[in-house]
Amino acid sequence: MLAVSDFFPMWDELPDGIRAKLLRASRDRSAEKGARIEPSGENCVGLILIRSGQLRVHTSSADGREITLYRLLDRDICLFSASCMLHSINFELGIGVEKDTEYYLIPPNVFAEAMRESAAVSNYINSIMASRFSEVMWLIDKVLWKRMDQRVAAFLIDEAALDGSACLHLTHDEIANHLGTAREVVSRMLKYFESEGIVKLARGSVEIIDFEKLNAFAE
pLDDT at position 219, please? 84
Q: Hey, do 7-143 and 147-218 end up sharing a CATH topology, with the first three levels equal?
A: no
pLDDT at position 62, please? 77
- Length of the chain as a residue count: 219
Q: Which CATH superfamily groups domain 7-143?
A: Jelly Rolls (2.60.120.10)
pLDDT at position 17, please? 94
pLDDT at position 147, please? 92
pLDDT at position 65, please? 82
Q: Span 147-218: which CATH code? A: 1.10.10.10
In the chain, domain spans: 7-143, 147-218
pLDDT in tens, 87-134: 555 567 889 999 999 999 999 889 889 999 999 999 999 999 899 889
Grade residue 82 by pLDDT with cuts at 50, 70 and 90.
low
How many whole angstroms separate alpha carbon 198 and alpha carbon 210? 5
> Is pLDDT above 70 for 46?
yes
Instruction: Report pTM.
Output: 0.81
Grade residue 61 by pLDDT with cuts at 50, 70 and 90.
confident
pLDDT in tens, 126-159: 999 899 889 889 889 888 888 999 999 999 999 9
How many whole angstroms separate alpha carbon 108 and alpha carbon 114? 10
